[in-house]
Amino acid sequence: MAAQLSTRKKIAYSLVLLLFLWGIVELACLGGLWALRRFKNLEYQPQIVEDLNDKHKGILAAQIADTSSYMVFDADLGWSIRPNGNKPQYKANSKGMRATREYSLEPPADKVRVSAFGDSFTHGSGVPTGFTWEEKLEESLPGLEVMNFGIPGSDPGQGLLRYRREGIQYRPAVVLIGYMSENINRMVNTFRPFYFSRSGIPFSKPRFVIERGRLELVPNPIRSIGEYEELLRDPEKILPRLGEHDYFYQRFNRRSRLDFLPSVRFARIIRNQYFDQPIFLPNGQYNPYSEAYRVTLRVLDQFYREAFDHGSVPVIVLFPQRKDVRLRHDRQPVTYQPLLYDLRRQGYRVIDLADGFEKYDPQAEMAHKNFLHYPKIGNQMAADWVRDVMVQQGLTTSQGVQAALKATKLPPVP
């Protein structure tokens, strides 16, 4: 009996000791949470998305009803421009390119055909017909025919898919691969509202991943308008499926019944910030070790190679967003500095439009403007700089393009 009592006491003492140690750990983690918030501005704030907001529901309902919106659901790309789509400032041709004319598949004999792929900065969102940088480029060099395949809200992966499906058949001499500095976030996103809750494009999209060292496509998780009807009916059921390969959903849209414990919250912050490799470093520049950076580099490389393999001279065009224009003006490194360094070090043809703004905007007008997309003056400067680089590299004549193709050496796979 005494031995049994002694055993019970030992178990009780052990449990009390464990509870005491657990309490010490929780108090320490509570202090750690305070320190992270105070000195690192880091907090555990899961942003659970269990429903669509009214704006997104309205946009999807309109898509289901097949109204005349400029943007349209696309099973392969996620979304694209509606053929013959119209907006107050611009319109699309019958192939869903921003253009006021049609293009034949055969390039004109007397012109160098250039095709541009990218997001809204390539599309020229924010400026009316006649003022996109593509139109200004064509205007300044009449020997060029410049086609605009830009899709607002897209990423270079979607651009690559559009190139494969539509761009190759037009046999461009030069392919401009547009990349805006914020695009790195989109590269690991599969449902736009997970990343950008105020987006006017509440669609899912494909993305690329790196599996066993190879670039692999994860197709668009929604393949029909009917599946959007299901999303509207039961978002709580469908949203987790859309977030399966979404960096932002996996990183932020999670919660646990144990979240009340400081140790759980502290562990998640440490894992997210120091083990799961955030997209941006504390200095605001890209994190070269993040999944988003690695996928970005591989997609740009793949696009570059495929354009070259189809007989085009590939050129990566980097679009600085407003913050980057101001950083360059202040002689500070831009957010995409690591990517620019890697691309140039490996020998890719690159046009950094920040260089163009520095040359053509000595009064720093762009650096002091508040803009989402480049205004007219910004598109003109972009056109001027692209023109300068193309002239310098001999890409404005058929003979120059052929010489550039012969001189092009593909970089090693990143």
Nearest residue to 325 via CA among 376, 365, 281, 279: 365
86 has a pLDDT exceeding 60: yes
Phi, psi torsion values for 18, nearest 5 degrees: -65, -40
* CA terminus-to-terminus distance, the chain: 72
| Owner of token pair 């163009």 | 356
Nearest residue to 157 via CA among 295, 342, 327: 295
Give 254-297 pLDDT, tens digit per residue.
666 667 677 877 777 776 666 667 899 989 999 999 999 999 99
49 has a pLDDT exceeding 70: no
Band of the pLDDT at 197, cuts 50, 70, 90? confident
Nearest residue to 373 via CA among 132, 146, 185: 132
Cα gap 335→181, rounded to integer Å: 7
302 has a pLDDT exceeding 90: yes
Give 122-133 pLDDT, tens digit per residue.
999 999 999 999
Q: Is the pTM of this model over 0.75?
A: yes
Contacts of 171 (CB under 8 A, 6+ apart): 105, 106, 107, 113, 310, 311, 312
Class of CATH domain 96-188+282-407: alpha beta
pLDDT value at position 256?
60
pLDDT value at position 199?
86
Name the 3-class secondary structure at 317. strand
pLDDT value at position 263?
83
pLDDT value at position 45?
61
Between the CA of residue 263 and those of 47, 254, 259, 269, what are the distances in Å? Answer: 19, 16, 9, 10
pLDDT value at position 230?
96
4 has a pLDDT exceeding 60: no
Cα gap 182→307, rounded to integer Å: 23
Cα gap 365→329, rounded to integer Å: 10
1 has a pLDDT exceeding 90: no
pLDDT value at position 350?
98
Look at 64 and 339; give whichever has higher pLDDT: 339
Cα gap 343→322, rounded to integer Å: 22
- Length, in residues, of the chain: 414
127: tokens are 């400026």
The alpha carbon dihedral of 373, 377, 378, 379 has a sign of positive
Cα gap 110→144, rounded to integer Å: 9
Q: Domain extents for the chain?
A: 2-44+255-275, 96-188+282-407
Average the pLDDT over 19-29 and give the result: 84
Residue-wise DSSP of 92-145: B-TTS-B-SS---SSPPTTSEEEEEE-SHHHHTTTS-TT-SHHHHHHHH-TTEE
Considering the chain, what percentage of its residues have pLDDT values greater than 70?
Answer: 93
pLDDT value at position 275?
63
Band of the pLDDT at 5, cuts 50, 70, 90? low
The per-residue pLDDT of the chain, averaged, comes to: 91
Cα gap 371→96, rounded to integer Å: 26
104 has a pLDDT exceeding 90: yes
